[in-house]
C-alpha cells in the first residue's frame, strides 16, 4: 500500500505533525536478507496523483547516511510514475532494520520519504562481537584482549585489515587472519570511550565485520557523568543542562578549548555555584537553529592544559519541531476505555466464530537426500532457522541453506513442524546435522543437538 504520511514514535510518545496533502506516494522497498558492509543498488516507483508535474529536487537527509539517490533531480509528470534509483549502504546494525531518506519537492508537499526494509544477517559467529576493556588508569595499558573470527557460513573467512577510525585502540591481526588482538592506546583522552573496529575480510559475501569496544580512562579530572541526556526538546524552546567537572585532588581547575563532533551544542563555562576552584560548570544547550536530525548526539573534547590532557563527554537527546504535539498513549487509551471495551468485545466475538489453529505442518520437500524434521512450540521471537552440516562427528559445522528458513507462525503456543531435505548429500556418506535459530536481532542459537544421518543409495528418501 502506498505510503503517504510518515510518523515517528519514541517510547510511549506519539509525534503528530500537520502535513500538506500529498501528491506523491511510494511503496516501501523490500530488500530481504542482506549481509552487512555491502552497497546495494535499489529503486522505487514514485507515483504522482496530481494534475501537475512534480520534481524531486534533492535529498534532505538519510538515516545514518545509508541511502544515496542516483538520478536527481527527477521529474514526474501529472498522473504518471517514475523510477527513483539509489544505493543502499548496509551498515553494522544487525537484524530487522528500516532505513529511510527524505527528499525535497518543488510543490506544496513538504517532502517524500522512502523507506527501505531489510534483514541484516551476519555471517560472523557471535557478531556483534563486543569487548569491554574495563576501567584503565590514565597512562597505562590494560591486558590485551583476543577476539576470534569464525564463521559457520563462510569457512574460509579471514581478516585482512582491522582499523579503529577513532585511534583509541590498536588492533593487530594474528593467526593468519583468524583472530584480532585489541589494546587500548595509553595516550587516549580521559573519559569513557566506545567505538568500532572495522575489519576488512577476504570474503566478497561479507566484506566487512565489526568489533564493538568500550573502556574508561580515569585521570585526575572527572565529570559527574560522562554522558548528559538532554531528553526531549522543542525547536525554539530548548532547555540547558549543567555538567560539573572537578579535579579529584582539589587543585585549581582551568578548562581550555572545547571542540565538538556531531550535533552543534552551545557551551558556556562558568564557576561552580559553591565557588570551588577545583570545579568548573558547563552549561550545555543544543543549537536548535543548526541541528538537522531529530535524534542528536555530540562528543565534546575539553582541553586540560595544566595536565597536557583532554577530557571527553557526550551530550545527546531528541529535538522535535515547534508545532509538534506530544500525546501520552497511556492517557489516550484510558480516555477511550469504553470504546476499547466495545471493540474488544467485537473482536472476541469474531475470534470465537473462527476455527482455532492448533498446529501447522509444513509440506515434505521432494528429492532424494536425507530428510530433517524439527518441531517448534512458540516462534514469537524467532526470525527463522539455519541448517548446519558436518562431514564427521567432531568436524566443524557448515551452513547449508543460503537463505534463512522463515518462520510461518508468530502466535503463542502454535506448534509447527518443519522439514528440510539435503539434496547435496552424497549416497553412501554419513553426515551430522544441527538446526539453529536466528532471532529478530540476528542473534543465533542452537535449537537441536547434532544428529547423525546415514544416506544410503538403496533408500534415497530415508529419514
Nearest CA to 311 among 212, 216, 382?
Answer: 216
Domain 9-120 has CATH 2.60.120.10: no
- Domain map of the chain by residue range? 9-120, 129-218, 223-320, 360-454
Q: Which CATH superfamily is domain 129-218 in?
A: Immunoglobulins (2.60.40.10)
Q: Which residues contact 341 (CB under 8 A, 6 or more apart)?
A: none
Locate 419 and state its grid cell. 522439514
Same fold, 223-320 and 360-454: yes
Q: What is the mean predicted confidence (pLDDT) over 223-237?
A: 94
Determine how β-strand 309-320 pairs with β-strand 190-201: parallel
Q: What is the mean predicted confidence (pLDDT) over 441-452?
A: 94
Q: What is the mean predicted confidence (pLDDT) over 265-278?
A: 92
Domain 360-454 has CATH 2.60.40: yes
The alpha carbon of 435 is separated from its chain's Cα centroid by a whole number of angstroms, namely 25
3-state secondary structure at position 334: helix
- Indicate whether 266 pLDDT > 70: yes
Distance separating alpha carbons of residues 288 and 212, to the nearest angstrom: 31
- pLDDT, position 294: 80
pTM of the shown model: 0.77
Q: What is the mean predicted confidence (pLDDT) over 206-233?
A: 95
Q: Which is more confidently placed, 293 or 148?
A: 148
The alpha carbon of 287 is separated from its chain's Cα centroid by a whole number of angstroms, namely 27
CB-CB contact of 35 with 120 (8 Å): yes
Determine the topology of domain 223-320 in CATH.
Immunoglobulin-like (2.60.40)
- pLDDT, position 456: 82
- pLDDT, position 84: 96
Q: 10 falls in which pLDDT band (50, 70, 90)?
A: very low
Q: 199 falls in which pLDDT band (50, 70, 90)?
A: very high
Q: What is the pLDDT of residues 396-423, one digit of tens each?
A: 999 999 899 999 877 767 899 999 999 9
Q: What is the pLDDT of residues 273-294, one digit of tens each?
A: 888 899 999 999 999 988 877 8
Return the top range by mean pLDDT from 64-68, 83-87, 323-327.
83-87
Nearest CA to 169 among 203, 124, 199?
Answer: 199
- pLDDT, position 210: 94
Q: What is the mean predicted confidence (pLDDT) over 312-341?
A: 67
Work out the mean pLDDT of the chain and round it to a whole number.
86
Q: What is the pLDDT of residues 87-141, one digit of tens each?
A: 999 988 999 999 999 999 998 788 899 999 999 999 999 888 999 999 999 999 9
Distance separating alpha carbons of residues 318 and 231, to the nearest angstrom: 6
Determine how β-strand 38-48 pairs with β-strand 81-90: antiparallel
Distance separating alpha carbons of residues 188 and 201, to the nearest angstrom: 27
Distance separating alpha carbons of residues 386 and 442, to the nearest angstrom: 12
Least confidently predicted of 93-107, 290-304, 308-322, 349-363: 349-363
Q: Which is more confidently placed, 353 or 37?
A: 37
Q: What is the mean predicted confidence (pLDDT) over 206-224?
A: 95
Reported as type and span, the H/E element at residue 180 is strand 179-184
Nearest CA to 191 among 328, 108, 309, 66?
Answer: 309
- Indicate whether 245 pLDDT > 50: yes
Amino acid at each position: 500500500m502506498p505510503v503517504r504520511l510518515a510518523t515517528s514514535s519514541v517510547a510511549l510518545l506519539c509525534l503528530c505533525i500537520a502535513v500538506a496533502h500529498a501528491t506523491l506516494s511510494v511503496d516501501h522497498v523490500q530488500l530481504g536478507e542482506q549481509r552487512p558492509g555491502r552497497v546495494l543498488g535499489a529503486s522505487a516507483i514514485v507515483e504522482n496523483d496530481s494534475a501537475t508535474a512534480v520534481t524531486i529536487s534533492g535529498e534532505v537527509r538519510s538515516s545514518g547516511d545509508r541511502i544515496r539517490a542516483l538520478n536527481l533531480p527527477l521529474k514526474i509528470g501529472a498522473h504518471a510514475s517514475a523510477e527513483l534509483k539509489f544505493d543502499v549502504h548496509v551498515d553494522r546494525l544487525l537484524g530487522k532494520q528500516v532505513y529511510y531518506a527524505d527528499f525535497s519537492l518543488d510543490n506544496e508537499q513538504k517532502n517524500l520519504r522512502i523507506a527501505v526494509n531489510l534483514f541484516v544477517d551476519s555471517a560472523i559467529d557471535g557478531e556483534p562481537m563486543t569487548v569491554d576493556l574495563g576501567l584503565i588508569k590514565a597512562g597505562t595499558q590494560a591486558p590485551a584482549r583476543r577476539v576470534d573470527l569464525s564463521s559457520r557460513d563462510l569457512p574460509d573467512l579471514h581478516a585482512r585489515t582491522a582499523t579503529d577510525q577513532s585511534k583509541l585502540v590498536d588492533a593487530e591481526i594474528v593467526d593468519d587472519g583468524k583472530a584480532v588482538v585489541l589494546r587500548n592506546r595509553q595516550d587516549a583522552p580521559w573519559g569513557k570511550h566506545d567505538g568500532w573496529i572495522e575489519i576488512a575480510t577476504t570474503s566478497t559475501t561479507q566484506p566487512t565485520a565489526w568489533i564493538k569496544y568500550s573502556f574508561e580512562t580515569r585521570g585526575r579530572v572527572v565529570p559527574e557523568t560522562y554522558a548528559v541526556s538532554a531528553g526531549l526538546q522543542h525547536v525554539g524552546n530548548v532547555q540547558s543542562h549543567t555538567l560539573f567537572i572537578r579535579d579529584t585532588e582539589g587543585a585549581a581547575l582551568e578548562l581550555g578549548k572545547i571542540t565538538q563532533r556531531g550535533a552543534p551544542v552551545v557551551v558556556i563555562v562558568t564557576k561552580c555555584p559553591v565557588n570551588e576552584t577545583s570545579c568548573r560548570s558547563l552549561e550545555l544547550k543544543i543549537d536548535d537553529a543548526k541541528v538537522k536530525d531529530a535524534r542528536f548526539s555530540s562528543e565534546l573534547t575539553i582541553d586540560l592544559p595544566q595536565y597536557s590532557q583532554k577530557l571527553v563527554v557526550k551530550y545527546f537527546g531528541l529535538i522535535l519541531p515547534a508545532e509538534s504535539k506530544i500525546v501520552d498513549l497511556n492517557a489516550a487509551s484510558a480516555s477511550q476505555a469504553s470504546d476499547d471495551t466495545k471493540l474488544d468485545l467485537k473482536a472476541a466475538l469474531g475470534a470465537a466464530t473462527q476455527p482455532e489453529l492448533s498446529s501447522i505442518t509444513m509440506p515434505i520437500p521432494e528429492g532424494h537426500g536425507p530428510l530433517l524434521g524439527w518441531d517448534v512450540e512458540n516462534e514469537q521471537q524467532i526470525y527463522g532457522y539455519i541448517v548446519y552440516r558436518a562431514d564427521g562427528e567432531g568436524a566443524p559445522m557448515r551452513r547449508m541453506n543460503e537463505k534463512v528458513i522463515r518462520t510461518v507462525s508468530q502466535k503463542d503456543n502454535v506448534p509447527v513442524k518443519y522439514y528440510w531435505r539435503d539434496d547435496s548429500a552424497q549416497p553412501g556418506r554419513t553426515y551430522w546435522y544441527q538446526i539453529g535459530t536466528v532471532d529478530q536481532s540476528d542473534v543465533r542459537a542452537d535449537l537441536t543437538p547434532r544428529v547423525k544421518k546415514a544416506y544410503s543409495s538403496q533408500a534415497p528418501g530415508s529419514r
